[in-house]
Amino acid sequence: MNNTRILIVLALIIAGIAGWFFQKHGEIAPPVNIEPSEVDYEATDIKAVQTNEDGETEYELNADSISHNPNTNQDEMSGITMNWEPSATQRYQIQAGTAAINQQSGDLKLSGGFVLTSQEKSGQANSEPIKVTGSELKGNTKSRKVFSDKPVKVEQGMNRFEAASMTANLETGDYEFGNIAVTFSPPKRQDKALF
């Protein structure tokens, strides 16, 4: 009976020491909370080609990275360069920091700065290319129209101006600019004797 008491006391002491040890040293980190991802696929160093209904190349796209957001059904890209041929007579290069494209609707939003440059198609002698730069460009790849309601800078050859907004039909090559501001620097006046 004496031995049983000693074993019970000894077991209680060991249980107390073990409880104290685990209380001081056995802190468990909070459980990891895994939430559903807003991305169902992503990739880097992208080279893609989109064709039209006739199987002809409509645009080629290069991007540093792409991810697809299933909640918005948009492809979100960074570091893009897009060579776009919306018609037999028009070709453009678009560069942007980031882009979001909905493949079903064709909606396109470029942000982080963009450069839109018209390019000559081989065998055509057009005027100087038009280069438009700005902070944000929206449009639709199916309607082949783009617009910016933010200020843009426009260059064509030696001509340069700024506009508060822009709308362009890339299929026809028609541009509209709102609130144009032009800086005119006439040549220096040189006084010469008439006689």
- What is the C-alpha separation between 20 and 7, in angstroms, rounded? 20
CA 190 to chain centre: 51
In a domain, 57, yes or no: yes
In a domain, 88, yes or no: yes
Q: Are 81 and 89 in contact (CB under 8 A)?
A: no
Name the 3-class secondary structure at 16.
helix
- What is the C-alpha separation between 139 and 84, in angstroms, rounded? 13
pLDDT for the residue 157 = 83
Arithmetic mean of pLDDT over the chain: 81
As a dihedral over the C-alpha atoms of residue 162, residue 166, residue 169, residue 173, rounded to 10 degrees, the angle is: -10
In a domain, 58, yes or no: yes
User: What letter represents residue 128's amino acid?
Assistant: E
Q: Is the pLDDT of residue 32 over 80?
A: no
- Name which residue leads in pLDDT, 35 or 20: 20
* Residue 135 backbone dihedrals phi, psi, to 5 degrees: -95, -30
What percent of the chain shows pLDDT beyond 70? 81
In the chain, the number of structural domains is: 1
pLDDT for the residue 147 = 92
In a domain, 124, yes or no: yes
In a domain, 169, yes or no: yes
- What is the C-alpha separation between 121 and 117, in angstroms, rounded? 13
Residues 164-185: pLDDT tens digits? Answer: 999 999 888 889 988 888 766 6
Q: Are 145 and 170 in contact (CB under 8 A)?
A: yes
pLDDT for the residue 151 = 93
Q: Is the pLDDT of residue 138 over 70?
A: yes
In a domain, 26, yes or no: no
- What is the C-alpha separation between 20 and 147, in angstroms, rounded? 69
**Bridge partner residues of 7 (DSSP):** none
- DSSP designation for 71: T
Q: Is the pLDDT of residue 194 over 80?
A: no
Q: Which domain holds residue 128?
A: 41-181
In a domain, 121, yes or no: yes
Q: For residue 117, what is the domain's CATH number?
A: 2.60.450.10
Residues 80-100: pLDDT tens digits? Answer: 998 888 887 888 999 999 988
pLDDT confidence band for 50 (50 / 70 / 90): confident
In a domain, 109, yes or no: yes
Identify the H or E element spanning 159. strand 159-169
